Copies of this chain bind each other. A is one copy, B any other.
């Protein structure tokens, strides 16, 4: 394997899509109540006005606003009470001059009325309503279509469903949503030293880490079909990777991508049905020894064995690719802060520096976290990263930096 032929991080996505043109977000239908975090695969257009009628936003009386002008605590305006509109009633009542009709919050305002006076400012004397405050035109009224207009695109494809935006969909009766089907993943941890949950710990062994970190990261947007540990035996790895390509859309192989004695991943991929390795390393730090290939229409990543490196590659390559396939717009999920110390980078490689944010005197301070890439605590201590482009040598203490969240 030749790690000198590294691919620029900017070219990775284009290359994957060129090699696997069939790779795209598949579609499915999802129930509204199960839609948290799902991604729309079509534009959603309003088929109704919301509200469909002029709706009261308070409990009170529908009146003609100009007839309340000048009303005060001392000199009320007088109206004749003409019944009420019931909740949910499609009323045919029409308000005439000098009249007031009771309308509760959310109910329809009768024709002829242009505003609502809250009951707090009213007094009733037999059939007469005394109003102690003037209201202006359309006060306490939500006009037909004011919230959503029929025909408007309310959400573009690529939008994520959140508690905050599900309300509009419910108000329009969109109880079934066209969403992207989640991609399925297999995770294979390779290495003779790696032991799993059911194996007893012995000195010299290392407990499997990457299948847990990757599995939880995938669960944010995809489905983990299986995770397994495979010893460094060529035939076994070949067999297990082959099985996984049959079960999943994407196979992640952790470990076995660097240049050591026991590195089989690249060879394994090339022996699979329709197998080809098309990325032999990426110009990033950490994460350089990453390989990307395919077996027919299944995508295969050989991730570095170091936990931090494998998560960096997962976040900036695998997750970003899925976001692209889901047509997600740039989430703008970054902020700015002041760097607390100098950071060096490796020219020619895009460096992803883990950081930790602290607040001092109302200022956002960005502290780079240094440590060996095999350290599991490195990620734990950090809550984001900064990117040092491949053409710079570092950043100075005090620089204003753009910080990305995980």
Contacts and interface: CB of A to CB of B under 8 A. Distances in A.
Contacts of A142: 372, 374-375
A213 B406 contact: no
Given A148-B376, A380-B165, A216 B36 contact: yes
Nearest to A161: B216
Nearest to A314: B163
Nearest to A260: B59
A88 B204 contact: yes
A105 interface: yes
Contact of A50 (B191, B362, B376): B376
A105 B260 contact: yes
A24 interface: no
Interface in A45-83: 48, 50-53, 55, 57, 59
Given A105-B305, A261-B104, A379 B204 contact: no
A394 interface: no
> How many copies of the polypeptide does the oligomer hold?
2
A291 to B, nearest CB: 15
B35 A259 contact: no
Interface in A194-231: 194-195, 197, 201-217, 219-220, 227
A374 B51 CA distance: 10
Contacts of A374: 55, 57, 106, 142, 147
A206 B171 contact: yes
A262 B215 contact: no
A246 B220 CA distance: 33
A351 interface: no
A87 B364 contact: no
A108 interface: yes
Contacts of A204: 53, 88-91, 107-108
A192 B216 CA distance: 43
Interface in A1-44: 32-33, 35-36
Interface in A359-389: 359, 362, 364, 372-377, 379-380, 382
Contacts of A106: 191, 193, 206, 255, 305, 374
A342 interface: no
A337 to B, nearest CB: 9
A276 interface: no
Nearest to A195: B88
10 contacts: A53-B203, A86-B192, A88-B191, A90-B203, A105-B306, A142-B374, A147-B377, A164-B382, A164-B406, A165-B380
Closest 8 CB pairs of A and B: A59-B260, A87-B192, A88-B193, A163-B217, A90-B204, A163-B216, A90-B203, A87-B193
